[in-house]
Chains A and B, each alone.
Chain A
Amino acid sequence: MSTATSAQAPAKSGRGTLYRGNEGMWSWVIHRITGVVIFFFLLVHVLDTSLVRVSPEAYNAVLGTYKNPLMAVGEVGLVGAIMFHAFNGLRIILVDFWKGGTKHHKAMLWTVVVLWVITLAAFAIRHLMLAFGGH
């Protein structure tokens, strides 16, 4: 009776579940936001690449804007969004398909964070040195 109905009813505060509050929810929020950001970038990116069909000058002109140091900082942000979405996406896939996935989901999230910091730092150093004129 009461147990049967409460199985579908929201738990009191929802806290302490896999989804609400805590890391599980925040990783989902960030995954969702980064996914949308990458999607809108991709729409613009295909449009700017399509200028190769207009003329070399037109294409070189838009690519020139990508080389501006301020834009280079934005590119680090974009790549940061992609790296997080990619590593966290792989974690979601492991949670869904790997037997130990639900048990180790927290450890895997911290692995995602560590991998993300390392790859993004490496990318940022190389990219910003190139964009700001160093070698």
Chain B
Amino acid sequence: MSATADSTIAAPRSGRIDPKYTRDRTKSGNFEMLTWLFMRLSGIVLVVLIFVHLFSNLMVGDGINGLDFGFVAGKWADPFWQFWDLALLWLAMLHGTNGVRTIINDYAERDGVRFWLKMVLYAATTVIIVLGTLVIFTFEPCLTDAAGNLLEASPAFCATP
């Protein structure tokens, strides 16, 4: 009696698609539930990872003016910051990719368009995660040219053997 039709919450779907849901329903078991949980768990960890990243790069010392190649060399000389950035890279990319996947599923109504947008998304994500991971772990602070001379703008500590 108190639960009238007007007080029920409408199904959260766009008016163009509702009321008849036309997409195929063959999706497997609890993948969507796991991604839902992942968005929340990764979100909590990302708050810490991102706030510290922004604070240590922009708020302390000279802030933005202190950032240069030597700054990165100093940070990545410590495995602690290498793994910090690795976790930040993977979690932010996977969280963001899954978020954008949801948005594509919401707005791209044609099956073909939806499929290809997601393929482009996954390709971009793979490239960025692989590239970012390689950059962190193949970083070389004292680069030299073919003749063995230090490149210009190398950090000062490279000159002292």
Contact = CB atoms under 8 A, between A and B. Distances in A.
Interface residues of A, number: 51
Contacts of A39: 96-97, 99-100
Contacts of B154: 56
B121 to A, nearest CB: 10
A79 B54 contact: yes
Interface residues of B, number: 54
B111 interface: no
B96 A90 contact: no
A131 B9 contact: no
Contacts of A38: 92, 96
A90 B46 CA distance: 11
A100 interface: no
Contacts of A113: none
A10 B11 CA distance: 6
A72 interface: yes
A101 to B, nearest CB: 12
Given A7-B8, A20-B10, A53-B139, A67 B47 contact: no
Contacts of A123: 54, 58-59
Interface in A60-112: 60, 63, 66-67, 72, 75, 79, 82, 86, 89-90, 92-93, 96-97
Contact of A52 (B6, B7, B18, B135): B135
B65 A67 contact: yes
A55 B67 CA distance: 15
Contact of B128 (A2, A3, A12, A43): A43
Contacts of A55: 143, 151-153
A121 interface: no
Interface in B11-53: 11-12, 15, 18-19, 40, 43-44, 46-47, 50-51
Contact of A8 (B19, B43, B135): B19
Interface of A: 2-3, 6-12, 14, 17-20, 32, 35-36, 38-39, 42-43, 46-47, 49-50, 52-53, 55-57, 59-60, 63, 66-67, 72, 75, 79, 82, 86, 89-90, 92-93, 96-97, 123, 126-127, 130-131
Given A7-B5, A55-B151, 5 more contacts: A10-B15, A52-B135, A86-B51, A93-B40, A130-B62
Interface of B: 3, 5-12, 15, 18-19, 40, 43-44, 46-47, 50-51, 54, 58-59, 62-65, 67-70, 72, 89, 92-93, 96-97, 99-100, 103, 124, 128, 131-132, 134-135, 138-140, 143, 151-155
